[in-house]
A and B are shown apart, each in its own frame.
Chain A
């Protein structure tokens, strides 16, 4: 975390004329007023008060962009060097705010309305109807429960990733080859992977993995018929793509452990297994927690594979929240209800992640 106070302290001798300051203020507020007028005109047309012939909301968008540019420029005009410093962060901040805060506020409105894009009535407020519908929607809660299972699978992924990182960290030949080979699954697009593995290699009749299963005595290999096998298959495919990610983070952590520590442990008579549990593993705890937390964040977004391979089947056994909402929109164009589900999901995620981070902080702190 960045410390407070300027790390790079610069004393500048700004002499900004009153005229320049006034001009800066003028363009900032002037463009803001422009934007408000533009938005008001478009709103008037939307409400049917005054037909100005706008086809879409683009003019307001342009006015907004102009205001953003003027705001940045105005900062420099008004505050000189300090304004130039603000200019480092301001564009990114404006960008993120306009692309998340607006849609989230807008999403809140949609979430409490009955809005089906295919119905001609348009949007109508329906209060808490969506919440009531969600409360009794077994598929949504089923998807939530699935997410818990998917997240729990991360522990197994972590164990495998740790093992691989240890192997890569050992004195081996051809390390570069192994590193590249291990990294490749992460680079592949999940949609292509879901065809390559989910649709072709796991195909019950001709797929190589099914053949292998048959050779090993599994009579009728099918990977997406029974709920638990289907869930496990999705977990495995997702693990296949993301294990490299955890592996690399853990490997970086392993390489940062000073060699002397392991040597000291060896001198003290710790064999490999004890040295691992009493030196390496505790040293790796902070890195491990970071890796697992980031992995959980990515896991909670899991959708591509499910959409492309099973579309939630059999009977919702592989559904993730994201893929469920995706189908809610794709099959039923139900924007209002889908948005509410997504909002509830967001709240759940924020609560869970905050809790996890607090816990991680508590248990990782004293040892570092």
Chain B
């Protein structure tokens, strides 16, 4: 074929001007960069989780050859979960490892839930009081009291750890759940107060005034009117506390030994001793992070809400 080719019958007759087409091209490259960035980062975030999950189903040769895709590269085996006593075939049998794991798991659950509940209760009350009334304790006014609570955030755990260790030894609170609960409550209290203060100050005082006129007491108004409105904020604070306390390692490693060990301590103590038996470590790590992954996926809205509080005033 030579000469100018004939345009096909259904060719487009009207075209965008070259300037507009350049704009479109820029728009599309912009789009592509944004999505490439997002997908790359999502991969970076999710790959370690995926890797751990698949490793827990691998056998030694699979680990060494670096197989990645189940059923394509390697055939999943229950190796890692069997060593924890959590695979289907060991489910009915006695297993000391499983008993140990469940004990640590329940310790973690009890400690983190109790500490978070306590922190949300104490913190909400304090935040409400500080957002509504003016106090004067000795020389401290409201802003001083607020600062006192929030300044606990910069207190590094290591400063409290050793005095607490000695103190707990004298009080026979070492290696007890109560001891851990108290410290965890303390460590998340400033965050709870921060979130809740923000929450309460966004609720108009007219609501309580109306309730007081209708004959409720201050506490009655707080419990029946304000709490239900502030509930989303409280859930956010609770979830955030739960995440922080579930993952806490430093205090747990120092203050517990056999009875009140939490899951992170168990994971950390196994890292050294297990050596190269990756599948069982992977299963253990995965089991330790699973509850939080579930919480993260289901309650993501609240976590973001909690962390965004205070960022925007």
A contact residues vs B (CB 8 Å cutoff): 1-2, 4-8, 10, 55-58, 61, 81, 84-89, 91-93, 95-96, 99-100, 102-104, 106-107, 110, 163-164, 167-168, 170, 172, 176-197, 199-201, 205-206, 208, 211, 240, 244-245, 248-253, 256, 286-287, 290-291, 294, 297, 300-301, 303-304, 307-308, 321-322, 325-326, 329, 335, 338-339, 342-343, 345-346, 349-350, 353
Question: Is B66 among interface residues, defined by CB-CB distance under 8 A?
Answer: yes
* Interchain CB contact (< 8 A) of A187 among B123, B208, B289: B289
Question: Is B139 among interface residues, defined by CB-CB distance under 8 A?
Answer: no
A208 touching B51 in the complex, CB below 8 Å, given contacts A88-B126, A172-B38: yes
Per the bound structure, the CA–CA distance linking A81 and B216 in Å amounts to 12
- 28 inter-chain pairs at a CB distance below 8 angstroms, sorted by A residue, are A1-B146, A2-B201, A7-B205, A81-B218, A92-B149, A99-B183, A100-B155, A103-B164, A110-B162, A167-B34, A178-B42, A183-B300, A184-B49, A185-B45, A196-B48, A201-B48, A208-B66, A240-B44, A248-B307, A248-B308, A297-B154, A322-B156, A326-B158, A338-B162, A342-B156, A342-B161, A343-B159, A349-B156
Interchain CB contact under 8 A, B304 and A179: yes
Interchain CB contact under 8 A, B37 and A163: yes
A200 touching B51 in the complex, CB below 8 Å, given contacts A89-B129, A346-B155: yes
Binds A, one of B8-16, B97-105, B227-235, B246-254: B246-254
Interchain CB contact under 8 A, A256 and B162: no
Interchain CB contact under 8 A, A189 and B134: no
**Chain B contacts with A in 24-39, Cβ cutoff 8 A:** 34-35, 37-38
A93 shortest CB reach to chain B, Å: 7
A345 touching B166 in the complex, CB below 8 Å, given contacts A172-B34, A184-B49: no
A345 touching B159 in the complex, CB below 8 Å, given contacts A92-B122, A191-B267, A249-B308: yes
A79 shortest CB reach to chain B, Å: 12
Question: Is B312 among interface residues, defined by CB-CB distance under 8 A?
Answer: yes
Interchain CB contact under 8 A, A200 and B45: no
Question: Is B69 among interface residues, defined by CB-CB distance under 8 A?
Answer: no
Question: Is B87 among interface residues, defined by CB-CB distance under 8 A?
Answer: no
B203 shortest CB reach to chain A, Å: 11
**Residue ID in chain B nearest A163 by CB atoms:** B37
**Chain B contacts with A in 66-99, Cβ cutoff 8 A:** 66, 68
Chain A to chain B: the 7 pairs with minimum beta-carbon distance, closest first: A88-B129, A252-B308, A92-B126, A189-B247, A107-B163, A103-B163, A187-B292
A184 touching B34 in the complex, CB below 8 Å, given contacts A89-B145, A91-B125: no
Chain B 134-154 near chain A by CB (<8 Å), digits 1 or 0:
110100011101101100111
A100 touching B186 in the complex, CB below 8 Å, given contacts A61-B171, A88-B129: yes
B contact residues vs A (CB 8 Å cutoff): 34-35, 37-38, 41-42, 44-49, 51-52, 55, 63-64, 66, 68, 122-123, 125-126, 128-135, 137, 141-143, 145-146, 148-149, 152-167, 170-172, 182-183, 185-186, 189, 193, 197, 201, 205, 208-209, 212, 217-219, 243, 246-247, 249-250, 253-254, 263-265, 267-268, 271, 278, 281-282, 285, 288-289, 292-293, 295-297, 300, 303-304, 307-308, 310-313
* Interchain CB contact (< 8 A) of B250 among A248, A294, A322: A322
| Residue numbers in A under 8 Å from B250 (CB-CB) | 303-304, 307, 322, 326
A71 shortest CB reach to chain B, Å: 12
Per the bound structure, the CA–CA distance linking A10 and B51 in Å amounts to 60
A127 shortest CB reach to chain B, Å: 19
* Interchain CB contact (< 8 A) of B307 among A85, A178, A249, A342: A249
A130 shortest CB reach to chain B, Å: 12
| Residue numbers in A under 8 Å from B208 (CB-CB) | 8
**Residue ID in chain B nearest A197 by CB atoms:** B48
Interchain CB contact under 8 A, B246 and A189: yes
B216 shortest CB reach to chain A, Å: 11
Per the bound structure, the CA–CA distance linking A1 and B144 in Å amounts to 10
Known: A252-B304, A349-B156. 8 other contacts (CB 8 A): A4-B143, A8-B132, A87-B125, A88-B126, A96-B148, A100-B186, A172-B38, A253-B312
Interchain CB contact under 8 A, B167 and A208: no
A301 touching B156 in the complex, CB below 8 Å, given contacts A100-B186, A335-B162: yes
Interchain CB contact under 8 A, A196 and B158: no
Interchain CB contact under 8 A, A195 and B271: yes
Per the bound structure, the CA–CA distance linking A4 and B135 in Å amounts to 9
* Interchain CB contact (< 8 A) of B167 among A4, A5, A106: A106
**Residue ID in chain B nearest A322 by CB atoms:** B158
A186 touching B243 in the complex, CB below 8 Å, given contacts A89-B135, A163-B37, A249-B307: yes
Per the bound structure, the CA–CA distance linking A141 and B15 in Å amounts to 69
Interchain CB contact under 8 A, B267 and A85: no
Interchain CB contact under 8 A, B126 and A291: no
* Interchain CB contact (< 8 A) of A7 among B132, B189, B289: B132
A58 touching B171 in the complex, CB below 8 Å, given contacts A92-B193, A179-B300: yes
Q: Which of A185, A187, A190 has the most CB of B within 10 A?
A: A187
Q: Which of A5, A104, A181 has the most CB of B within 10 A?
A: A181
Per the bound structure, the CA–CA distance linking A326 and B251 in Å amounts to 10
Interchain CB contact under 8 A, B166 and A93: no
Per the bound structure, the CA–CA distance linking A81 and B212 in Å amounts to 13
| Residue numbers in B under 8 Å from A7 (CB-CB) | 131-133, 205
| Residue numbers in A under 8 Å from B133 (CB-CB) | 6-8, 85, 88
* Interchain CB contact (< 8 A) of B154 among A168, A180, A248, A350: A350
